[in-house]
């Protein structure tokens, strides 16, 4: 096993030890109690119950009465040395027998990962050590389902502290079940776990009250049925596990599609009312929806038959006031307290110039009325006022989020759907998706 670090004071060449060697300790004499001598296949620091035994460094250890019954193990410290220049001064070249994170006075030096590090003026006089542990990184994707994680070492991968069955090696593909879990790795050559990668996701980080009168519905969680060679959406499962959105009526099922590699439900122009419906009324206070109106460039009349001029992103279908609708240049509140809309995580809300509406996020608040809020349902006697275009996902909360939470949700939903470039330049998650650690 390998230690976390070794200062330059007290460096010693490890005879016979090799990078990555796993020490094997055994009884040289005695029965394991006081007076017993333990020997190791390699030299290193001896530990009892996870605590270094003072002065116990080498290839052998004699058990004292105080050590009886303790869990004894040994770590092999990496060998580091100065191969060029004066130790401790800028420009000197530090080398290590193993790959790891360089540290100054026990603190990671940003970007100093590898077998070699050159001393900088800022670190002169510091105690230089090497933290040898698995270092995992996201090498493909954004950390959500389908992303590839890679470690500098081979070992067992963990999610929320539990070993992932069969996940042994240098790489891990994040499955839907692992999304948002705290991912780490325990390499085969060290008892120390790697750094942890954990993406921020609403299902894990939002509170129970926020979820109770809300839901998270993504097209990737859709159930579909095929009719005459065309797929139609029958349900979106709620990631919160509170309320699924379903549509049992064939004529009202949105079409299943794909937009830039992301699954979507598509509301076609038709005389029907495509919609996804909850099992009962609920009282959300805030929504964020990833959608695009029609082709994203259309401005004029977006009703199904040409007579209406309101497109409803959510509505109950029961009365005209139970809706959140859009006309050519304004948001229609319906009667449920919505007066402004935030587009793509903008710093401020707007009530004007909403169309054309390219794919992105729309978020707005409600007054909390208990309504059977449907996704994409119109209402009027002429079968107009329905949404037209793809919807990729929606989140509803039972309590309006604060600024930090709202921006976390915006960052997650945009990166999840490949829309991070549409966030404002000042948005905290414009350049990287939100992570817990």
Mean pLDDT along residues 253-265? 92
CA distances in angstroms from 180 to 169, 218, 384, listed in the order given: 21, 15, 40
For residue 19, name the pLDDT band (cuts at 50, 70, 90): very low
Per-residue model confidence (pLDDT) at position 26? 79
For residue 401, name the pLDDT band (cuts at 50, 70, 90): very high
Taking the C-alpha atoms of residue 410 and residue 392, their distance in angstroms, rounded to an integer, is 14
Taking the C-alpha atoms of residue 297 and residue 309, their distance in angstroms, rounded to an integer, is 16
For residue 421, name the pLDDT band (cuts at 50, 70, 90): very high
| Out of 18-27, 118-127, 239-248, 409-418, least confident range | 18-27
Q: Which residue has the higher pLDDT, 45 or 343?
A: 343
Per-residue model confidence (pLDDT) at position 20? 39
| Out of 76-85, 222-231, 276-285, 369-378, least confident range | 76-85
pLDDT for 100 beyond 80: no
- The gap between the terminal CA atoms of the chain, to the nearest Å, is 26
What is the torsional sign of CA 429, 354, 213, 235? negative
pLDDT for 18 beyond 50: no
Mean pLDDT along residues 422-428? 96
Tens of pLDDT, residues 336-356: 556 678 889 999 987 765 655
Tell me the whole-structure pTM to 2 decimals: 0.66
Taking the C-alpha atoms of residue 325 and residue 333, their distance in angstroms, rounded to an integer, is 7
Mean pLDDT along residues 118-125? 87
Per-residue model confidence (pLDDT) at position 407? 96
Mean pLDDT along residues 416-420? 92
Q: Which residue has the higher pLDDT, 420 or 368?
A: 420
Q: How many Cα atoms sit within 13 Å of 185 on the Cβ side?
A: 25
Longest pairwise C-alpha distance within the chain: 95
Which of 61-75, 164-178, 335-349, 375-389: highest mean pLDDT?
164-178
pLDDT for 335 beyond 50: no
pLDDT for 260 beyond 60: yes
Per-residue model confidence (pLDDT) at position 17? 32
| Out of 137-141, 223-227, 272-276, 309-313, least confident range | 309-313
Per-residue model confidence (pLDDT) at position 361? 93
Mean pLDDT along residues 395-401? 94
pLDDT for 282 beyond 90: yes
Per-residue model confidence (pLDDT) at position 222? 93
Mean pLDDT along residues 421-436? 92
Share of the chain above pLDDT 90, in %: 34
For residue 151, name the pLDDT band (cuts at 50, 70, 90): confident
pLDDT for 30 beyond 80: no
For residue 194, name the pLDDT band (cuts at 50, 70, 90): low
Mean pLDDT along residues 118-130? 86
pLDDT for 380 beyond 60: no
Q: Considering the chain, what is the average pLDDT of its residues?
A: 80
């Amino acid at each position: 096993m390998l230690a976390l670090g070794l200062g330059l004071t007290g460096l010693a060449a490890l005879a016979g030890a090799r990078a990555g060697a796993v020490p094997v300790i055994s009884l040289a004499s005695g029965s394991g109690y006081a007076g017993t001598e333990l020997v190791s296949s390699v030299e290193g620091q001896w530990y009892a119950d996870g605590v270094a035994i003072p002065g116990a460094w080498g290839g052998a250890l004699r058990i004292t009465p105080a050590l009886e019954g303790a869990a004894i193990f040994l770590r092999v410290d990496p060998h580091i040395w100065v191969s060029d220049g004066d130790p401790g001064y800028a420009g000197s070249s530090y080398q290590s027998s193993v790959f790891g994170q360089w540290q100054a006075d026990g603190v990671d030096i940003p970007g100093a990962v590898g077998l070699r590090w050159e001393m900088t003026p800022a670190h002169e006089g510091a105690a230089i050590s090497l933290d040898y542990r698995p270092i995992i990184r996201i090498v493909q994707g954004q950390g959500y389902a389908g992303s590839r994680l890679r470690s500098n070492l081979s070992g067992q991968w963990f999610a929320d502290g539990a070993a992932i069955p069969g996940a042994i090696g240098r790489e891990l593909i994040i499955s839907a079940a692992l999304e948002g879990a705290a991912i780490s790795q325990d390499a085969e050559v060290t008892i120390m776990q790697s750094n942890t990668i954990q993406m921020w996701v609403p299902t894990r980080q939002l509170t129970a009250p926020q979820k109770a009168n809300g839901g998270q519905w993504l097209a990737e969680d859709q159930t579909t049925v095929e009719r005459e060679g065309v797929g139609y959406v029958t349900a979106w499962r709620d990631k919160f596990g509170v309320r699924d959105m379903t549509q049992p009526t064939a004529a009202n099922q949105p079409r299943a599609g794909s937009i830039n590699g992301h699954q979507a439900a598509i509301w076609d122009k038709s005389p029907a009312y495509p919609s996804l419906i909850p099992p009962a009324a609920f009282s959300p206070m805030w929504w964020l929806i990833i959608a695009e109106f029609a082709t994203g460039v259309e401005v004029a009349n977006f009703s199904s038959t040409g007579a209406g001029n309101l497109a409803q992103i959510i509505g109950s279908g029961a009365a005209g006031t139970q809706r959140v609708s859009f006309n050519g240049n304004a948001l229609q509140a319906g009667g449920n307290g919505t007066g402004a809309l935030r587009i793509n995580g903008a710093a401020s809300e707007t009530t004007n110039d909403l169309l054309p509406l390219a794919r992105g996020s729309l978020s707005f608040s409600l007054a909390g009325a208990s309504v059977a809020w449907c996704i994409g349902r119109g209402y009027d006697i002429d079968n107009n006022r329905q949404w037209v275009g793809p919807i990729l996902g929606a989140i509803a909360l039972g309590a309006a989020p604060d600024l930090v939470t709202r921006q976390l949700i915006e960052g997650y939903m945009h990166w999840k759907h490949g829309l991070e470039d549409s966030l404002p330049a000042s948005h905290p998650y414009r350049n990287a998706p939100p992570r817990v650690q």
